[in-house]
Chains A and B, each alone.
Chain A
């Protein structure tokens, strides 16, 4: 499989303070990588670095093939502003095509078609004229996922995509992401849901308090010391 992203010994931080160091992993076409880590372990800083929003302190992040900055579709966490935003689903999904416009002040026919197709693909066509703020959490995430898919078809970077959803909606969301992955979309998902990560992902990157604890396939992770400690803790919490 063709490699798409490689991180070599990356150190992340803010204004001289190191948040995480020794980040070392690669993502190939069709992978489903789940980034695990507790709050404050530098997951969100890593996202910013991968998206090219914020440079890393040291190390290299390389993009291969035809992947450039902006070719990664991003599903951010919801912001306060969006909670009462008057916008229709179609307007939001279509805005995913905006990067293709450059300075052109209108959307082309193909872009509008792409938005319609993507809504159909994610099963939200009948919501197209509904107002975003009146949708359920799961439906809102689907809308944002559709927007990300309009912006980029090869890699999706999902930041805690199931946070705040009820169990049924969480399951639907995970299934939908897996389906996209089976269609050939590379998935990078940030999460602290150990069970779902090991169930759905092909690879796991586990970041500890200040440095990387594990990178490898999900099967290897479950057999590793880090994975065992984490799995016992999860069982203890849930049992």
Chain B
């Protein structure tokens, strides 16, 4: 045990471990907030679609040789989020078909570009990093951490500011439109915040696993809690705890950060499922 504590102490003497922890917890918190809304609106897959778009955008940024790819990735992802949401409403192309189309398309184009114009000698290593996040969270620089903190504050502030609107629009869009609330504007805000979260989370878990970070805490919380507010709070707590546990485990056991966090989320989901069986039996 003393060995364990000493090892932990040693790790925390390195700033990059602190950076990883701060960034990881912030991202986990942000991604869980909108998860409930996305799951309830049947938009779970939008996260997945957008993350693939972000992957494609990252490839483009890499080729253009930009030092900070955020300038390319963020606008492209935001625009795609808006487009995806609009197609979902107009229903000319089916919503989920549109998402599948854009996400797979972006993935293919991104991988193709990375191969045609390799920015480093190790293309498959680059691809793997972008898809699964692997070690990039442990190589964060101070500026990355600051960018992440600023973006997190924007996301959390926007969520708190629009909390009641997001709830109302999620529960019943038509009623709100009839009552003169600009539901489309709030849908747009939801889409833009989602895009922000995805770009943020790419560093932590990579673009393939982002959906898990968004959806699992929300689904876990929905097993046990019965009001919107308690579900959101629980989902935020679950997400932050899982991220913390995941980061520690990965540092100690040398497992990849992103997938460790997601596995922790999955375990918690099953625990909550079991718990919900007991509580349901009690109420019946």
Contacts and interface: CB of A to CB of B under 8 A. Distances in A.
Interface of A: 51-53, 68-70, 72-74, 76, 79, 81-82, 85-88, 91-92, 95-96, 98-99, 101, 105-107, 129-131, 134, 144, 147-148, 151-152, 157
Interface residues of B, number: 30
Nearest to B162: A105
B178 interface: yes
B50 to A, nearest CB: 21
Contacts of A72: 178
B172 to A, nearest CB: 7
A85 B171 contact: yes
A110 to B, nearest CB: 15
A73 B180 CA distance: 10
29 contacts: A51-B177, A52-B178, A53-B174, A53-B177, A53-B178, A68-B180, A70-B179, A74-B174, A76-B175, A81-B42, A85-B171, A86-B36, A86-B222, A86-B227, A86-B228, A86-B231, A87-B228, A91-B167, A91-B228, A92-B171, A95-B164, A96-B179, A98-B181, A129-B227, A130-B226, A131-B226, A131-B227, A148-B175, A151-B179
A98 to B, nearest CB: 5
B164 A107 contact: yes
B180 A88 contact: no
B225 interface: yes
B165 interface: yes
Nearest to A134: B226
Contacts of B227: 86-88, 91, 129, 131
Given A81-B42, A88-B226, A105-B161, A99 B181 contact: yes
B113 interface: no
- Chain B, interface SS category: helix
B168 interface: yes
B251 interface: no
A87 B167 CA distance: 9
Contacts of B171: 81-82, 85, 87, 92, 95
Interface in B121-164: 160-164
A132 to B, nearest CB: 9
